[in-house]
Amino acid sequence: MSLRFAIITSLLEREATGLELTRRFDRSFGYFWPASHQQIYRELRSLLDAGLIEEKGDPARPGRGQPRVVGVTEEGVASLRRWIGELDEPRPERSSLAVRIRAAAATGELGGVEDAVRRHLAAHTATLETYREIERRDFADRLLDAEGELHHLVLRSGLANEQAWIGWCEDALELLQRLRRSE
Amino acid sequence: MSLRFAIITSLLEREATGLELTRRFDRSFGYFWPASHQQIYRELRSLLDAGLIEEKGDPARPGRGQPRVVGVTEEGVASLRRWIGELDEPRPERSSLAVRIRAAAATGELGGVEDAVRRHLAAHTATLETYREIERRDFADRLLDAEGELHHLVLRSGLANEQAWIGWCEDALELLQRLRRSE
DNA sequence: CTTGCCATGTAACGCGTTACATGATTCT
DNA sequence: AGAATCATGTAACGCGTTACATGGCAAG
């Protein structure tokens, strides 16, 4: 359900075409809920059918290849407000690295895993740097309004997560190297 | 793909029936790659068809309701060894709490979010406690072999993750309360 | 006029989730 | 005999991913 409401929220911040939305889900919004253009168009269709969003601008621009701007309806805003307070459980964690490490432990095939860990470490390091740049640019110690504070809070979630992964990857590399040397 | 190899790994550690596997994916193995019995039976069928696992024990026990023990074939072990060294990217993070907070920021509807954060905080706290118990029980400072060290490493991944979430949830609650009071 | 980009879509598949179905065995 | 538990499955749906299709428009 979250994609649905992520799209409504993004459209509430500013109405957009499918492609503009796709770009938002490739950067800012995508940092905590990524989505491809295929997912977005599929969901826009469903949101239109449900009457939670509507087409804005010239309706005499039908068909393929033409940009279609959509915005949130009153009912869309109402459904978003209702959803905000709903309770759910954290999504279960899944780590392919952890599976690889258990597999390596079971087979004794330790060699290949190090590269996999290094790849993840590099990816997390790059993401962390991206987040830090955003923090410097948008949240560097000046006074923020409530909305700014909340956006900063969301960014800090990403920062904390990447830092945790980086720390663990370094830990993992250290152990793997130690085990490799003492074979 | 990871579920496939998680199952092979688990069966390599010890052969099992579908239900026994299901229980493993509800505890130990499930802490880093959860799976339901429906997923497991579906995947077992596919692994049997691919010849990566095979039925052990009395083959004159067909049909429904009867336990069927399976084990890994040589080809299964070979495919696992191949997979271990493959490179992939970290799975993209998705946080429904982050979506809710952005939605709250966009609508001004701050009230409901606090409960959602508290629920996640409680869940992460409970999971962390589970992991700590396992650490005390299985990894309390005695000498471990390579396999034990690797299992401990995987557990520490879960520990780090839960701790990161807990820290962020507390941070979030503090901010939400501050914003609520200064309205 | 063709190449490239903007823009909107379709189709098929993989994997996770929810709900339900079927049969064997054991306990009361 | 009925209930509980062990055990194996089916069916349908939701959402993410991959691959491909269609069309408009601008630059060279």
Mean pLDDT of B153-171: 98
Q: What is the pLDDT averaged over residues B25-39?
A: 96
Residue B94 backbone dihedrals phi, psi, to 5 degrees: -135, 125
Look at residue B150 in the predicted model and tell me its pLDDT.
Answer: 98
CA A173, A174, A175, A181 torsion-angle sign: positive
| Strands (E) located in B37-150 | 53-55, 70-72
Residue A143: the pLDDT is 86
Domain extents in chain B? 1-85, 96-181
Q: Give the number of A-B residue pairs with CB atoms closer than 8 Å.
A: 220
Beta bridge partners of B54: B71
B77/B124 Cα distance (integer angstroms): 35
**A61 or B82: which carries more pLDDT confidence?**
B82
CA dist A154 and A118 (Å) reads 27
**Contact yes or no for B179 and A95 at CB 8 A:** no
Q: Residue B59: pLDDT above 90?
A: no
In chain A, where does DSSP find H-type helix?
Answer: 2-13, 18-24, 37-49, 74-84, 96-107, 113-139, 146-181
B71 beta partners: B54
Instruction: Provide the whole-model pTM.
Output: 0.95
Q: How far apart are CA A103 and CA B4, in angstroms?
A: 11
Q: How far is the CA of B53 from the C1' of D10 (A)?
A: 22
**Cβ of B88: how many Cβ atoms within 10 Å?**
14
Domain at B1-85: CATH code: 1.10.10.10
- Please count the other Cβ atoms lying within 10 Å of the Cβ belonging to residue B113: 22
Query: Distance between alpha carbon B16 and the CA centroid of its chain, in Å?
Result: 19
Biggest CA–CA distance in chain B, Å, is 73
* CA A58 / C1′ D26 distance in Å: 22
Residues 93-152 of B with CB under 7 A from strand D: 94
pLDDT at B24: 97
Chain B CB contacts of A116 below 8 Å: 84-88
The residues facing B70 across adjacent strands are B16, B55
| Contact between B106 and A13 using a beta-carbon 8 Å cutoff | yes
Rounded average pLDDT per 10-residue block, chain A, 183 residues: 97 96 96 97 96 82 76 97 96 97 95 95 98 96 90 98 98 97 82
